[in-house]
Structure formats: structure tokens, C-alpha cells
Amino acid sequence: MSAKRTYTFAFDCPDRVGIITRTAGLFASHGGWVEEASQFSDEESNRFFSRMVVRAETLPFDIEVLKRKVEPLAQEMSMNWRLVDSDQRKRVVLMCSKGSHCMTDLLDRWKTGDLVCDIACVISNHEDLRSLVEWYGIPFEYVPVDKDNKAAGFAKTEQLIDEYRADCIVLARYMQILPQNLCEKYRHKVINIHHSFLPSFIGAKPYHQASRRGVKLIGATCHYVTEDLDEGPIIEQDVARVSHEQSVDDLVRLGKDVEKTVLARGLRNHLEDRVLVYGNKTIVF
């Protein structure tokens, strides 16, 4: 049986009395059944964050009409908002280099329906994972990035992302730094997995850095990409306990398990519109 159709309303606005009553009341006044509601009031910024899920079949009109009915309230309360139809699956472009553990995990979760989205294509600066990707019936686009002329490679990458009409781009161990113009163009749409518990051990070889420091926890961080390397809003994190007895190879092996799990959780939160960004901080419902 297919999942029931829902509309997800996610927003933030200046905090005030009556936001929940007014918002839920708008849906209720048209017979809308709110089956899920989350909210958070941030005292430091005096902002209110919320996510509501409404059963589509309980409303007498489609999402475009609903948007027009929400607009006056959104303007009155100075909301940053989005209203999303669960029937409109997000189009995801995956990007990778040579490492396969994150890519394999995401493709399997997509194939089994654990991640509800359409994977439009995979873009890679290496050919290594072509056969894996094509086995799943997904287009594989090879775009080399010449270290002496990276602009050409990224221009082609941007063209492909636009041609495939991506709603979301996932860097599944894509070992290149995106240029500033792409970070700005796809702000809060590019998701990265960093094999470190940020902000510790930023940049290359974090497991080697961690081993030299004798850490007792290793971790991974899923975050939105910004022009500041590995400093974008954090979506999801997790850790694994280690000891002095474990080598760098052991840390890498254990870290891979954490990486793929954290990336999958972070992507699912994004696909389900559970992430609201304010400044460089996220609220994840």
C-alpha cells in the first residue's frame, strides 16, 4: 500500500503569542488534519521554528490553493516558509570520487525504499564506481577535475546539475572542494559527509590527525556545504568509541560505518523537510 499523501509546512518567524493557534487554526478551518507538529522557541534569537504535517485528503483543495491561503498569515508574521507535497519526490544528484562505502549505502537505501527520492544521476571525477552505479540503472556522468583548470570541470558539473533538475546534491565522499559560486547558488541544497566530528580535525586525513591526538571518540558530521570549508550548518553527527590499541586503519574502518549512517540520516532529514536553517545553525525536527 502506498504512503498517504501529506503536505509539510515548515517555517520560522519572530516569536510571539498565538503562532501555533493561528497556524494550526488555518488548517483546521478548512478541515485539515494535522497529524504531526513540532515546534521550538529559541530565546536567544527570539525566533520560533515549526514543522507541521497535514493529511492532503482532508483538505478540499490542492497545494497551490493552500499556498495562497497561507500567504497572508505568513506575511503578517514575517515567516520564512515552505509548503511541500509528499507526492513531489525530491530529485537528488549524488557526487563521489573513488570511495564506495557511502555511495553503496545510499544506493541500497534508495533501492529498498528507505530513502524516498528520485536519484537523477551520479557525477564523479573518477570512473571507478561507474559499474556499481549503472547496475542500479542510474546515469553515471564522468567529469574529470583537472588540478590546473578546475573551473572547466566545475562548469560542466553545474551544467549537469541544472540539466538533471536537482533539488538536492549529496557529496558522498566527493574529494573536491566546491567553488564559492556553486556553494552560493545551491545554498542549503548541498549535503556533505565529513569523516570527523566537526569542528575538530578539519580538512584532509582527519583520522590521522585524531590518532596523533590519542582521541577516545571518532565521529562523522553531515552538514550543508558553504564557502567556508567544513563549517556549514550541521544536520547530523555521531561517534564511535576507540582506544589507544587501535591503529589508523582501525579508525578508518570504524569511521566508515559511522559516516554512511550519519549521511543517510542527514539526507533523510533533508528529504522529509525536517531541517530548518537559521544563520549557521540548524533546527532538526
**Known catalytic residues?**
230
Please identify which residue in the block is written with the cell numbers 540503472: 137
Chain-centre distance for alpha carbon 249: 28
Beta carbons within 10 angstroms of residue 87's beta carbon: 12
CB 223 within 8 A of CB 191: yes
DSSP 158: H
Beta carbons within 10 angstroms of residue 108's beta carbon: 14
Burial class for 149, CB neighbours closer than 10 Å (0-12, 13-18, 19+): exposed
Distance CA 56, CA 62 (A): 8
For the chain, the C-alpha Rg in angstroms (whole number) is: 21
Cα angle for residues 124, 262, 199 (degrees, 5° grid): 90
Dig out the grid coordinates for 137 from the structure. 540503472
Dig out the grid coordinates for 229 from the structure. 570549508
Distance CA 197, CA 244 (A): 18
Picking from 56, 129, 122, 74, the residue whose alpha carbon sits closest to that of residue 94 is 122
CB 270 within 8 A of CB 223: no
* Phi, psi for residue 251 in degrees, rounded to 5: -65, -40
